[in-house]
Structure 1
């Protein structure tokens, strides 16, 4: 097991947003974190990446918590945020160099991987560009390149399809499938439910800070008694019941 979230209670104040949230993401598994705005998806992710500390419960990656070994925990994660976060004073090349240093990667091997990713996302001619020169979609691609440059055990991808063109979405999904096959665990938050249904192995459905249901599409269909329902159908049915 790579990611284990157990009875997580937390939020941004003493009043918890998350209430006893529990789920796992295993090696070689893509899990979709599904919920309406305000359901607790971003709060959950912020706890996992260490921006927020749990009020109760635990979060472990390969059995290690942030409090037990923060360096090992953080180097196990690669994160692609919904809104790109880049350093305005650094070029694309310098962002890649920084990632290599932060994750203590072998420079030669990392740059070989980077060149392949840069070519895939059509950024290979833009190594000397600064963030000010990039569109939002291009900034998102920079974040993807930097994340998948690493050897992380857990990839956390927050609303990855916003701002990406259809070709980049195809390439990202292929990249996710490749890392899954190599044994990485991937947690993806998205509102694009038809794409999630086609690519995710399991789903965690959040509503008002609680896990209302989790499992594969077939397991969710069985839970809600509708073997023909889409993921969108099931989520709307869950909301109406609650």
Structure 2
């Protein structure tokens, strides 16, 4: 089995040592795999992602990306992932194209590769006409597209994506799902958080279900269904509701 691009072991984390949000969380993402991170608001999904990208330091346990830890090899650690937050964060006085150029420079993407990927992403996300527009003049959905394009332009071993479907129109959602499928086929790993379980169910290889900061189920769809005690033919969505306190019926 391939070595994981993300390994989280026994992670205790959050903002306070006295009241940690995450409680002994284990999770992993392998190359060519999409892992769905599921949980209600406040379950700890965003806190886990902040630990993965290095915005929070573990109280206990470890986080490794491609075998690197933030403490031992910070530069290699940060170069191994791309993060797409729930709310787009852009420079209002830079154009769409300048954001792509800046990302390419930050990740060391060669000029020829950059132009090929950038043109393809602009076409896929229907942003060709907006390439010269300043980010401050874009709609929220377009700003989200820019964040996604910058991440996919870099093509790192790991993608960390938080609620990517919010603000996207149906065509953009389809483009995103197609792009994530291609990244998997290229050998990249993805961990994606979303409340739209039905959207993820056809694309995820495995899941991590968080509730009150702890992992209540993980593994394939069959593993999650079994952990919930729902019928073997049931869906992840039904299992999820039962695991987090809903009826699941």
TM surpasses 0.5: yes
Match of 2:145 among 129, 133, 141: 141
Question: Deviations 1:206-239 (Å, cap 9, x if unpaired)?
Answer: 0000001101111222233321222121111112
Q: Is 1:21 paired with 2:25?
A: yes
Counterpart among 7, 12, 20 of residue 9 in structure 1: 12
2:240 counterpart residue number: 235
Greater shift after overlay, 105-114 or 34-43? Answer: 105-114
Matches within 5 A, 1:157-236: 157-225=161-229, 226-236=231-241
Distance in structure 1 (CA, Å) of the matches to 2:75 and 2:109: 14
Alignment of 1:126 with 2:130, yes or no, is yes
State the Cα distance separating 1:10 from its structure 2 match.
Answer: 0.8
Q: Which runs of 4+ in 1 moved over 3 A?
A: none
5+ residue gaps, structure 2, are none
Q: How many pairs align?
A: 241
For residues 71-123 of structure 1, the C-alpha deviation after alignment (integer angstroms, 9 at most, x for no partner) is 11111101111100001121112111110111011022112110110111111
1:44-193 alignment to 2 at 5 Å?
44-193=48-197
SS at match of 1:171: helix
CA distance in 2, matches of 1:68, 1:181: 30
Counterpart position of 1:36: 40
Q: Which runs of 5 or more residues in structure 1 are unaligned? A: none
Residues 115-172 of structure 1, C-alpha deviations (whole Å, 9 max, x = no match) = 1101111111222211121100000000011000012000111101110011111111
DSSP-derived class of the 1:149 partner: helix
TM-score under structure 1 normalisation? 0.97
Distance (whole Å) between structure 2 residues aligned to residue 228 and residue 207 of structure 1: 23
Give the TM-score of the pair, scaled to structure 2.
0.94
State the superposition RMSD in angstroms: 1.1
Point out the more displaced range, 196-205 or 37-46.
196-205
